[in-house]
Amino acid sequence: MEPTYGHGGINFIWRLGYTFSGLKRYDVVAVRLAGSKVMLLKRVVALGGEWVEFREGKLFIDGKKMDESYVHYPGNWTLPPRQVDKGSVYVVGDNRNMPMESHYFGQTSLSRIVGVPLW
């Protein structure tokens, strides 16, 4: 999630962040990677039922090019369109200036979303 959040930094997660409102596009969320302690910070770019795609580093949702002002290190990723399952969201980190194969991103179940960073 660099440069928005530094690698290995400490963040506090608000677990009740989505108690009263649902997830929205561009929200930064904590995804439970393993056990109860290992988390990833990622940004929600697509919601359940939407089609997500990358063309030459640009994000497209349902075929429409999206504005990603938070991406300071763009890349040239190309990913064919895929539909996000219901009950899932598609999350990506902000640091795109790395090979797509090395970047840990993709569709994740809503049950894996733990909360939102407090700042």
Partner 1 sequence: MVKTKSLAILVLLGVMGSLVVIYYFPSDTNKVKRRFALLAQWASKDPDEKALATAQKLKKIGALFDEKNRLQVPSQEISGTFSREEIVAFAARIRLAFSQLHIKFYDIIVTFPKEKKVQVTLTARLTGKWPSGENVDETRELICTLNKVEDEWLFSEFEVVEVLKK
Contact set with partner 1 (CB under 8 A): 31-38, 40, 42, 79, 91, 104-108, 112
Least Å distance, CB 30 to partner 1, is 12
Least Å distance, CB 106 to partner 1, is 4
The DSSP call for residue 56 is T
Cβ distance to partner 1 smaller for residue 36 or 69: 36
Whose tokens are 């108690």? That residue is 19
Least Å distance, CB 24 to partner 1, is 19
Cβ distance to partner 1 smaller for residue 21 or 108: 108
Region of residue 20 (phi > 0: left; psi between -120 and 50: alpha; otherwise: beta): alpha
Cβ distance to partner 1 smaller for residue 91 or 116: 91
Beta bridge partners of 14: 116
Distances from the Cα of 66 to the Cα of 55, 59, 87, angstroms = 11, 6, 22
